[in-house]
Structure 1
Amino acid sequence: MRDTAGGARDRDAEGRARNARPRDGLGRPLPYGAEGVARQPEGVVRAPEATVSEAQRLLDAGRPFHAHEVFEDAWKSGPDGERQLWRGLAQLAVGLTHAARGNATGGARLLRRGAGAVEEWCVASGTTCPYGMDGVGLASWARELADRVERGESPVDPVAAAPRLRIRT
């Protein structure tokens, strides 16, 4: 297969996309040869606390797309009982990504979906949100941001809008 620029597509031996194309800080693809931001390596297995810390660092740096990839690794490699939590956190990060890119509809939808998943896992199940995370606060943040982008306050500044994952002590 060829890409639209006439070159070979980035595929592994099984034909899956390798995503070698450079990307900007919000994960948007850039032209081949352009200087992008460093990518998060895929498939990294981290301790849950390290996942939360790395995702917070990326969110604080205005890189929610990359935080989403960190959460996605936890979702795919973590215990079955926590998959809904990590998937919900990934949805929050990618919702912020879409809102920062100016996609109000997609951003709001993903923020609300992620809020519901995190809230269900951390609150409705009666489980305390693990790893010091603030499930109630995250769900509230996501719904407030979804309301803002639906009112036309998009694109949002990903640094200013970044959530706090952990309860402040």
Structure 2
Amino acid sequence: MGARDRDAEGRARNARPRDGLGRPLPYGVRGVERQPEGVVRGPEDTVAEAQALLDAGKPFHAHEVFEDAWKSGPDEERALWRGLAQLAVGLTHAARGNVTGGARLLRRGAGAVEEWAAGAGESRPYGIDVPQLGVWARELAGVVEREGTAVDAGARAPRLRGGGSVRARGHGLG
């Protein structure tokens, strides 16, 4: 067995290029640039960067942005960022055609952000419309299960804030 890929700090990190949904590609193929890990951003920057990635059909990469916030943010917000990361991973799996995993993670993430919001007494942290996000996730989980096929991640990406509307470029949720 060959040596493991390592990052600059010596941590194991797969160096294979990845596609927009985070799937590994063969070595030597040009992939989508990965999000740097361990970046500390403010909440506003986290939401803006994740939204841009979601809009671009890159929910796997948005998950990495949320994961950075989950790992570096204040303890009382970790469940929020972890739930948002689960939503992004759920969309990733749904876009890859993993019906069961996608639906399960969409529902789990919705429950996590809603539970956090209820406990914090805040339904719009950093402008994120948590109730509408929960509706989006559960509706998309149902669509994924009914249709049983991969969804277009960019077309099905949520609007994290901005009046609670859900992105639906050419596609309704139902």
Q: Is the 8 A contact 1:123 1:136 kept in 2?
A: no
Taking the aligned partners of 2:157 and 2:49, their CA distance within structure 1 comes to 14
What residue is the counterpart of 2:111 in the other structure? 116
What residue is the counterpart of 1:62 in the other structure? 57
Q: Give the counterpart of 2:69 among 66, 70, 74.
A: 74
Q: Is the 8 A contact 1:109 1:146 kept in 2?
A: yes
Tell me the amino acid that sits aligned with residue 133 of structure 1: I
- 1:9 aligned onto 2:24: no
- 1:152 aligned onto 2:150: no
Q: More deviation in 150-159 or 75-84? A: 150-159
Q: Is the 8 A contact 2:123 2:129 kept in 1?
A: no
Taking the aligned partners of 1:143 and 1:132, their CA distance within structure 2 comes to 20
Give the unaligned 5+ runs of structure 1: 3-7
Q: Give the counterpart of 2:19 among 10, 21, 24.
A: 24
Taking the aligned partners of 2:101 and 2:63, their CA distance within structure 1 comes to 15
Q: More deviation in 92-101 or 115-124? A: 115-124
Q: Give the counterpart of 1:52 among 47, 50, 54.
A: 47
Give the root-mean-square deviation of aligned CA atoms: 1.7
Q: Structure 1 residues 13 and 161, CA, compared in 2 at 3 Å: closer, same or farther?
A: closer
Tell me the amino acid that sits aligned with residue 38 of structure 2: G
- 1:163 aligned onto 2:148: no
Tell me the amino acid that sits aligned with residue 79 of structure 2: Q
Q: Is the 8 A contact 2:39 2:68 kept in 1?
A: yes
- 1:91 aligned onto 2:86: yes
- 1:139 aligned onto 2:134: yes
Q: Give the counterpart of 1:130 among 100, 121, 125.
A: 125
Q: More deviation in 41-50 or 119-128? A: 119-128
Q: Is the 8 A contact 1:111 1:146 kept in 2?
A: yes
Q: More deviation in 36-45 or 11-20? A: 11-20
Taking the aligned partners of 1:71 and 1:13, their CA distance within structure 2 comes to 22
Give the unaligned 5+ runs of structure 2: 165-174
What residue is the counterpart of 2:97 in the other structure? 102
Aligned pair count reads 164
Given the two structures, how large is their TM-score scaled by the length of structure 1?
Answer: 0.91
- 1:11 deviation in Å? 2.9
Deviations 1:71-102 (A, max 9, x none): 00000000000000000000000000000000
SS of match in other structure, 1:131? helix
Taking the aligned partners of 1:13 and 1:157, their CA distance within structure 2 comes to 34
